[in-house]
């Protein structure tokens, strides 16, 4: 069977829009594989910090990305060089660092093969910024989720507070806007909807609403 026969649903969109929650739910319900591509950029950022490599040293950062020793555990844990780092890569600082290394074209190139390797039967939910435009342009269904920066900041605030983080909503709005700006304006694979993506504004929708919409779109697409 050729790769293109393996069904793929791409879920792209800006930070804090709920891609991770929806993607995990879809993967669980369809019993498909799940690519959390943002985690790979977050891990690259973390590896730079741990190894004291500056983001400006683009060749070194790309080499690090290429050689990351990562394990995604079925339990949801993520091991980097054998150590559990999931909580470490979910902070706002880690998200910002991810956005910085993600703007380096050589890093995106270095992570390409690793992302494509997730395409395995029975299917794949691919979550990120450029899943439908660059990594899986032949996807069965492409979804692009949106919501206002204020709404996304509120959601992220709730998540972070629940996890015991001490954050201010106003700071999150600014951070989300800065990250959008960087992700949308970089030269290599900027954040944008694929021409054939279905755009869903999630501002007024529950997780269940979005999930049901995506499933309906998928059923109509096969």
The residues of the shown chain that bind ligand DC, judged by CB under 6 A, are 15, 37-38, 41-42, 95, 98-99, 102, 128-130, 179, 183
Q: Which is nearer to ligand DC, 7 or 128 (CB)?
A: 128
Torsion angle, CA of 113/118/122/126, rounded to 10 degrees?
-110
Q: Which CB atom, from 5 or from 113, has the smaller least distance to ligand DC?
A: 113
Q: What is the nearest approach in angstroms of ligand DC to the Cβ of residue 166?
A: 20
CA–CA distance from 139 to each of 53, 68, 168, 196 (Å)? 35, 26, 38, 10
Q: What is the Cα–Cα distance from 100 to 58, expressed in whole angstroms?
A: 11
**Is the Cβ of residue 32 or residue 152 nearer to ligand DC in the bound state?**
152
Q: Which residue has the tokens 């470490």?
A: 88
Using left for φ > 0, alpha for ψ between -120 and 50, and beta otherwise, residue 161 falls in alpha
Nearer to ligand DC, 7 or 16 (CB): 16
**DSSP 8-class letter at 2:** -
Decide whether 15 or 123 has the Cβ nearer to ligand DC. Answer: 15
Nearest to 101 by CA among 57, 143, 134, 68: 57
Report, in Å, the least distance between residue 60 CB and ligand DC: 19
Least separation in angstroms between residue 89's CB and ligand DC is 8
Residue nearest to ligand DC (CB): 38
Q: Give whole-number Cα distances, 122 to 11, 32, 138, 183, in Å.
A: 17, 6, 16, 31
CB of residue 130 to ligand DC, shortest distance in Å: 5
C-beta of 176: minimal distance to ligand DC in Å?
A: 10
**Measured distance CA(116)–CA(3) in Å, rounded:** 10
Nearest distance in Å: CB 1, ligand DC: 25
Given the complex with ligand DC, which of 117 and 220 has the nearer CB atom?
117
């Amino acid at each position: 069977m050729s790769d293109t026969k393996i069904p793929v649903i791409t879920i792209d969109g800006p930070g804090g829009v709920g891609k991770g929650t929806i993607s995990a739910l879809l993967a669980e319900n369809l019993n498909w594989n799940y690519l959390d591509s943002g985690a790979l950029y977050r891990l690259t950022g973390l590896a730079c910090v741990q190894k004291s490599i500056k983001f400006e040293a683009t060749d070194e950062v790309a080499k690090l990305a290429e050689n990351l020793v990562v394990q995604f555990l079925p339990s949801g844990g993520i091991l980097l060089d054998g150590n559990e780092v999931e909580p470490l890569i979910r902070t706002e600082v880690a998200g910002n660092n991810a956005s910085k290394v993600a703007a380096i074209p050589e890093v995106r190139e270095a992570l390409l093969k690793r992302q494509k390797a997730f395409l395995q039967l029975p299917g794949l939910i691919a979550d990120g910024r450029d899943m439908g435009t660059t990594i899986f342009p032949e996807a069965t269904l492409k979804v692009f989720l949106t919501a206002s920066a204020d709404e996304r900041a509120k959601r992220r605030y709730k998540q972070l507070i629940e996890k015991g983080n001490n954050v201010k909503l106003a700071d999150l709005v600014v951070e989300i806007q800065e990250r959008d700006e960087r992700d949308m304006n970089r030269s290599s694979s900027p954040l944008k909807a694929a021409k054939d993506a279905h755009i869903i504004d999630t501002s007024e929708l529950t997780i269940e609403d979005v999930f049901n919409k995506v499933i309906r779109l998928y059923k109509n697409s096969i």
